[in-house]
Amino acid sequence: MDGIVALWKPKGFTSHDCVSKARGMFKTKKIGHTGTLDPDVEGVLPLCVGKATKIVPFLTNTEKVYEAEITLGIATETEDASGEHICKKAVTSQLSNQEIKEVLTSFTGTIKQVPPMYSAVKVDGKKLYEYAREGKEVPRPEREVEIHGIELTSDGAILQDGRAVFSFNVRCSKGTYIRTLCVDIGKALGYPAHMSHLVRTATGGITKEVCLRFSDVQKLVDEGTPEKALLPISTGLSHLPSLTVDEQTKALIKNGRVLEKEQGMPNSEFTVRCGEEVLAVYKTHPSKPDKIKPVRVF
């Protein structure tokens, strides 16, 4: 079986837990996930099965969409609700919607983030969370990420017991830490903050509307139709430009041939199809700009 399980990851599961459970259901080891989600986070986690594992890098690099909740007034060591409180400052006055919206808008575009200590980013061959568990804090590499869009989704901030809580929706690039974004938004508003809730609603072209829960997948497996849980490989590549070729060219594509770059072909990575079948992902040849070469052949 080859395809994509649009899984709605439940809370309490790591991404690796989900892969392990799916391997048992589909009775195959050839399954990979397309971007880590923390155990406390639920949402869209595409799992690639069989030949679809070849597109994992393309889905991992896509835009992600999240619904997040931020709590002002308390900072935690993990930057989310699971961590110990490390800083407090009571929120005593109501924040206006205009003030919140202006701060959120200021984070659009390219921004810099310092990964949280409780993350899987490696420094000197060791994951940051391993240092954190040892009580050590090490210099962390600053990175650039893209915030494509961000907007307030709650009716302002709810003020209670010295805290203010509001929700926002964000579209962002791979590698964006929403926890850190919440902390930085809090700083811009003048308060310590942490991410109090997070849901991922889309990865590339795969949205929550098409997702299955493990119970849905198990039902299909029990009915002897596990293939019905799979989306076609092309679904995971729908964000890429596409080129359609004829049957004669299909044979060349299947053999991974370098081809002439014709007028109108995209400069970035693009899929090559024959009818409804996705044959490969191609790109402009790095040293021969008049040719295209395969990145992946399916």
- Could you tell me the two tokens for 151? 């907007």
Got the DSSP string for 36-83?
---TT-EEEEEEEEGGGGGGHHHHHTS-EEEEEEEEESEEETTSBTTS
Q: Is 226 helix (H, G, I), strand (E, B) or coil?
A: helix
CB 95 within 8 A of CB 221: no
* Dist. CA 91–CA 289, nearest whole Å: 57
CB 138 within 8 A of CB 131: yes
Catalytic residue (one of 2, 17, 38, 290) = 38
* Dist. CA 21–CA 27, nearest whole Å: 10
Q: Of 255, 94, 109, 80, which is closest to residue 177 (Cα–Cα)?
A: 80
CB 241 within 8 A of CB 268: yes
* Dist. CA 285–CA 291, nearest whole Å: 6
Is 38 a catalytic site residue?
yes
CB 73 within 8 A of CB 24: no
Number of helices (H), then strands (E), in the chain: 7, 19
* Dist. CA 255–CA 263, nearest whole Å: 23
* Dist. CA 199–CA 197, nearest whole Å: 7
- Residues classed as catalytic: 38
